[in-house]
Every structure is written in structure tokens, then in C-alpha cells.
Amino acid sequence: MHSIRRIFSVGTAALVLGAGLVAGSSGAAQAAASDCTQGRAGFTDIPDSLSGRGVAGAGALVVDFPTNVPYAVASYAMQTGNVGGREMGWGVLSTSSSLWGAGASGQVWMDVTNDNKQSWIQCGPFYVSSAGARITTPAYPTSNSASRAFRVCAMAAIPVRDTGITCTPWW
């Protein structure tokens, strides 16, 4: 009786685990920077130095190092401005020049929805690993349509831990 119960339990666990893996892998999109650079998906490449008007808030990322360097600190924000004669939005990530340890990395990406947040296009992630660096996502046209919205997400990491993903509100 114990062996039948054990076989049933192991079989059920394997089935549940397998279903979770299939469900998890089919629902997670694997986005890449190349999906939205060079004019793909309606995005426009912009220089990392481009600054605009801050919208939808911003945030700070802090990772504690376990040894010598106390932190890796970065900030992220969503900005809008004129790009090639059109009003557009983009994400930006800046790393601290003094609190950025060796091995630290940061990433930023922008999500754009055109259907009231039912689905979205992820532009990025874009990576940076040096102190005092600034990186932007490509820009996407803004719109008066209530169905179009943007958010910027970011994460900072060191080899043994990360900040987790944090995003601005949709704008």
C-alpha cells in the first residue's frame, strides 16, 4: 500500500511540476534589445545623452555588496521629448560614479502597450556595467489615445544578489 501511495505521490508531483514548467515557459516572453533597435516595432534609436522631461516617476536601485564596496547605486526614469520632430517617450538608467563596485551591472527596459495594458511590447533590456554611465532605451511615439501607455523597468545586480525588478507606474 505504501509503495502505491508513494508512486502516486511522486507521479502527481512530477505532473504538477511539469505543468508548472510548461505554463511558466509558454507565458514568459524572452525580449531582447534587438527587438526594438534600428527602427524595429515602431521604436527610434536615440543617443544615451538625450534628456527630456521626466514623467511617471523615477526610482533608485541599491544593492548591498557583501564585502569591501558597500553599494551599487543607480537611478531610472521615464522621459519624454522631441525626437526627430515627434513627441516620444523613453527609459533611462544612470549609475553612480562613486558607489558602483566592480562586477555590478544595471539594466533598463521600456514596456509599451497599445491596448490598455492587455499586452505590451518590451523594448530591452539594455545593460550597463560601468560607474557613472547613462543608457537609454529607444524612444516610442506618445499618443493622445487612452489605450497607449508606457512604463520603464530596471534592475541592478552584483554576482551574488540583485535588487529585483522595479517599474515606474504606467503613463
For residue range 39-80, list pLDDT tens digits in order.
999 999 999 999 999 998 899 999 887 776 667 899 999 999
Residue 21's domain spans which residues? 1-29
Contact in structure between 99 and 76 (CB atoms under 8 Å) = no
61 and 38 within one domain = yes
Domain count, the chain: 2
123 and 107 within one domain = yes
Q: Which H or E run includes 77? A: strand 71-83
Low-confidence ranges of the chain (pLDDT < 50): 1-29
138 and 93 within one domain = yes
b/e map 63-98, b = 16+ CB within 10 Å? bebeeebebbbbbbbbbbbebeeeebbbbbbbbbee
16 and 64 within one domain = no
Q: What integer pLDDT is reported at residue 101 of this predicted model?
A: 83
Q: What integer pLDDT is reported at residue 69 of this predicted model?
A: 60
The Cα 45–Cα 133 span in angstroms is 18
Q: What integer pLDDT is reported at residue 30 of this predicted model?
A: 62
Q: By C-alpha distance, which of 10, 108, 90, 104 is closest to 51? A: 90
The SS3 of residue 28 is coil
145 and 87 within one domain = yes
> What does the block give as the cell for 110?
521600456
79 and 14 within one domain = no
Q: What integer pLDDT is reported at residue 1 of this predicted model?
A: 43
69 and 141 within one domain = yes
53 and 4 within one domain = no
Q: By C-alpha distance, which of 29, 139, 119, 145 is closest to 78? A: 139
136 and 67 within one domain = yes
Q: What integer pLDDT is reported at residue 31 of this predicted model?
A: 79
Q: What integer pLDDT is reported at residue 28 of this predicted model?
A: 33
106 and 47 within one domain = yes
12 and 53 within one domain = no
**Cross-strand bridge partners of residue 100:** 72
The SS3 of residue 54 is strand
The reported pTM is: 0.79
25 and 106 within one domain = no
Q: What's the gap between Cα 119 and its chain centre?
A: 15
